[in-house]
Structure 1
Amino acid sequence: MKKIGFLSFGHWAPSPHSGTRSAGDALLQSIDLAVAAEELGADGAYVRVHHFARQLAAPFPLLAAMGAKTKRIELGTAVIDMRYENPLYMAEDAGAADLISGGRLQLGLSRGSPEQVIDGWRYFGYAPAEGETDADMGRRHAEVFLDVLRGEGFARPNPRPMFPNPPGLLRPEPHAEGLRERIWWGSSSNATSIWAAQKGMNLQSSTLKDDETGEPFHIQQAKQIRAYREAWAEAGHDRTPRVSVSRSIFPLLDDRDRSYFGRGKEEDQIGFIDEKTRAIFGRGYAAEPERLIEELRADEGIAEADTLLLTIPNQLGVDYCAHVIEGILKNVAPALGWR
């Protein structure tokens, strides 16, 4: 059994060929798709976060709105770039959104990836400390965020406060009980997945990772997940972690599907991140359900994960994205034992 959700980048473009022509379209349609996915029986609605881009960027108002419109579905990110974040203010935003949703947030974080502008985090007022890289800064912000989510007071109260204080040191409010265990780390390497395990975070592994062995993407991803679980066990945490992977999967059920995605079999791709890190990009899947089932059965990365996030083409509109999700839930997932 697997939890199955969607992952939206929330692209928008002022083009007559796009179903999301404005930022408002992207936001409102994301809420509508979360509602539709819940009605179809999906388990999660996740959004990507990109700054300085015509995509979704500020996740917490959106997650709170999704939470107010739904009852059951998990709501999350994959991922928030922690180089851009004030950890304490983020803890307040996350706490509010989690309480509005009734404790359904699943927040994916990361140290960041190449962005639209050079050192974009500097425009947000952040800079690495002496001797740090920007990746180090992102991980430091994440560690502060995790510590704040424990809910322990640390700030000395004013002896003449505007409002009465509870006894002891104070913490950011509102505090969302249990959110600390619903934090994930988006990892592209074996080393950072081990670090995430040591810190007690769940693991998000995407369709891209460092090419560490030259093997096919899904095999490297499966090894990454196994290394993460071994590190988790060694750390002695008292709960079972969760692991998600992301895939582009399109059952070809009608002529519309074939016109959009019936291009034939895709293969893994090799590229470079920051012009120095060799990365492998996992293939997408598009085929008639019977063939799709056989291909997905051989994907070792999916087999190792308990959660599958389906990357959806949000610019094709809510109805089409819901059609894709329904096609997988009804025509693919049962045969693979995911349902």
Structure 2
Amino acid sequence: MPLPSQPLRKLGFLTIGLFDETDPRAGHESTLEVIELGEQLGFDSAWVRHRHLQHGISSPVAVLAAASQRTRRIALGTAVIPMGWENPLRLAEDLATVDILSGGRLNPGLSAGPPTHWEDVKHALYPDTADAEDFGYRRVRRLLDAVRGEPVTTFRGTEGFEVYSDRVQPHSPGLAGRLWYGGGSLRSARWAGENGLNFLTSNVVKAEEPAGFADIQLSLVREFRAHHPDGDRARVSQGLVVIPTDSATPAQRAKYTEYAAKRTPRTAAPQGPRRLLFAPDLVGTSAEIAGRLHADPAFREVDEVAFALPFTFEHDDYVQILTDIATKLGPELGRQPA
């Protein structure tokens, strides 16, 4: 077996925040309780996915604003906000406001590209400008500039009793250093590095070369750092689906095994026209999972993770999984409790 990687420095988790359409509050409350539990267990970060027109978190900034008032230490992230749905200037205001409220704990993750099912939603989302919208990196860049304090208007000054700024208010000076880009291609990894962001790499990559998942992910990490001003010190977080079974009941172990088995076929070869390749879910004892991670060449190059929670499990399952990650798997990976 390869030598273990450097000790894990930051331990995080990611949740989708599913809810029942007939009772959405219960699901949102469960998500907030999971984040609170994460802080109690000593996790360094909690991340929420972004799901438009689905039964998952559609407004992660609002959810994390609530979480910021129920926690005191844990970092709060989005993985990721698809910028095609957003006005960069307005989003910059929201992110800065929540960062101020959280005491500087917000870690916004972003991505480029058109909204999912664009042809079906464009007339509702951009009824007058659909054909003119730019969904490439320039849209993300507009947000970066706004968060970094670049002017967004040509007017500043006083009109009567009203004082106007030429940059987004409130301005949160540390927020720009906590912006992340979620990418699965070499091009996106390169762009994130060139623009000085942090980099989120998940359990899905674009198969641009004939290699296995771990080797492709490793190439993304190295491409990002090769183009980042901080080089090998540039921050990368890996997000695989990890399900430890140390304290699971027999019924939970059976459920977890069945869940992973149903998802395994998609890991055998690239999927669809975009050639997306998925990583296998890691199910087993913490010692077994740690062994598999130490054999992963991409994991050996990072010291931050945001392990993804499965989409469809129950609240009690998440409690068990997070508890085992914090108390069993984290120490196996050399991570010291926060």
Scaled by the length of structure 2, the TM-score of the pair is 0.87
Are the counterparts in 2 of residues 83 and 121 from structure 1 also a CA contact under 8 Å?
A: no
Which secondary structure state, in structure 2, belongs to the residue aligned with residue 247 of structure 1? coil
Pair 114,306 (structure 1): closer, same or farther in 2 beyond 3 Å: farther
Are the counterparts in 2 of residues 2 and 338 from structure 1 also a CA contact under 8 Å?
A: yes
Match of 1:149 in 2: 147
Pair 310,328 (structure 1): closer, same or farther in 2 beyond 3 Å: same
Residues 192-218 of structure 1 show CA distances to partners (whole Å, capped at 9, x for unaligned) of: 100110011110111111112221111
- Identical positions, percent: 29
Which of 300, 304, 307 is the aligned partner of 2:297? 300
More displaced 10-residue stretch of structure 1: 148-157 or 119-128: 119-128
* CA deviation after TM superposition for structure 1 residue 139, in Å: 1.9
Which of 127, 132, 137 is the aligned partner of 2:130? 127
Pair 121,98 (structure 1): closer, same or farther in 2 beyond 3 Å: farther
* CA deviation after TM superposition for structure 1 residue 319, in Å: 3.4
Pair 39,244 (structure 1): closer, same or farther in 2 beyond 3 Å: same
Q: For residue 262 of structure 1, what is the amino acid of its counterpart?
A: T
| Separation of aligned partners in 1, 2:318 and 2:214 | 25
Are the counterparts in 2 of residues 105 and 182 from structure 1 also a CA contact under 8 Å?
A: yes
Match of 2:191 in 1: 195
| Separation of aligned partners in 2, 1:145 and 1:114 | 17
Are the counterparts in 1 of residues 84 and 115 from structure 2 also a CA contact under 8 Å?
A: no
Q: How many residues align?
A: 321
Aligned-pair Cα RMSD in Å: 2.4
| Separation of aligned partners in 1, 2:100 and 2:305 | 25
Which of 286, 289, 292 is the aligned partner of 1:289? 286
Which of 252, 259, 266 is the aligned partner of 2:254? 259
Pair 182,249 (structure 1): closer, same or farther in 2 beyond 3 Å: same
Which secondary structure state, in structure 2, belongs to the residue aligned with residue 262 of structure 1? helix
Pair 279,239 (structure 1): closer, same or farther in 2 beyond 3 Å: closer
Residues 16-43 of structure 1 show CA distances to partners (whole Å, capped at 9, x for unaligned) of: xxxxx63222222111111110000111
Pair 280,158 (structure 1): closer, same or farther in 2 beyond 3 Å: closer
More displaced 10-residue stretch of structure 1: 70-79 or 326-335: 326-335
* CA deviation after TM superposition for structure 1 residue 92, in Å: 0.8
Match of 2:138 in 1: 140
Match of 1:86 in 2: 87
* CA deviation after TM superposition for structure 1 residue 313, in Å: 3.4
Structure 1 unaligned residues grouped into runs of 5+: 15-20
Which of 236, 248, 252 is the aligned partner of 1:243? 236
Residues 157-178 of structure 1 show CA distances to partners (whole Å, capped at 9, x for unaligned) of: 3776253426xx5222111111
Are the counterparts in 2 of residues 32 and 318 from structure 1 also a CA contact under 8 Å?
A: no
Match of 2:269 in 1: 270
| Separation of aligned partners in 2, 1:238 and 1:294 | 28
Residues 286-317 of structure 1 show CA distances to partners (whole Å, capped at 9, x for unaligned) of: 01233222222212222222221121136534
Which secondary structure state, in structure 2, belongs to the residue aligned with residue 258 of structure 1? helix
Residues 48-97 of structure 1 show CA distances to partners (whole Å, capped at 9, x for unaligned) of: 11211111111111111111110110101000000111011101110111
| Separation of aligned partners in 2, 1:159 and 1:304 | 49
Match of 1:18 in 2: none
Are the counterparts in 1 of residues 237 and 302 from structure 2 also a CA contact under 8 Å?
A: yes
Q: How does 1:160-175 map to 2 (within 5 A)?
A: 161=159, 163-165=161-163, 170-175=166-171
* CA deviation after TM superposition for structure 1 residue 191, in Å: 1.4
* CA deviation after TM superposition for structure 1 residue 237, in Å: 5.1
More displaced 10-residue stretch of structure 1: 117-126 or 141-150: 117-126
Match of 2:9 in 1: 2
Pair 100,160 (structure 1): closer, same or farther in 2 beyond 3 Å: closer
Q: For residue 279 of structure 1, what is the amino acid of its counterpart?
A: L
Which of 323, 333, 337 is the aligned partner of 1:336? 333
Q: For residue 67 of structure 1, what is the amino acid of its counterpart?
A: S
More displaced 10-residue stretch of structure 1: 263-272 or 184-193: 263-272
| Separation of aligned partners in 2, 1:108 and 1:64 | 15
Pair 293,120 (structure 1): closer, same or farther in 2 beyond 3 Å: same
Q: Does 1:231 align with 2:227?
A: yes
Are the counterparts in 2 of residues 210 and 277 from structure 1 also a CA contact under 8 Å?
A: yes
Residues 120-149 of structure 1 show CA distances to partners (whole Å, capped at 9, x for unaligned) of: 3552225353xxxx7x52422211110111
More displaced 10-residue stretch of structure 1: 296-305 or 217-226: 296-305
Are the counterparts in 2 of residues 193 and 224 from structure 1 also a CA contact under 8 Å?
A: yes
| Separation of aligned partners in 1, 2:190 and 2:255 | 38
Q: For residue 65 of structure 2, what is the amino acid of its counterpart?
A: A
* CA deviation after TM superposition for structure 1 residue 2, in Å: 2.8
Which secondary structure state, in structure 2, belongs to the residue aligned with residue 165 of structure 1? strand
Q: For residue 148 of structure 1, what is the amino acid of its counterpart?
A: A
| Separation of aligned partners in 2, 1:162 and 1:250 | 60
Q: Does 1:37 align with 2:30?
A: no
Structure 2 unaligned residues grouped into runs of 5+: 1-7
Match of 1:208 in 2: 204
* CA deviation after TM superposition for structure 1 residue 119, in Å: 5.2
Match of 1:74 in 2: 75
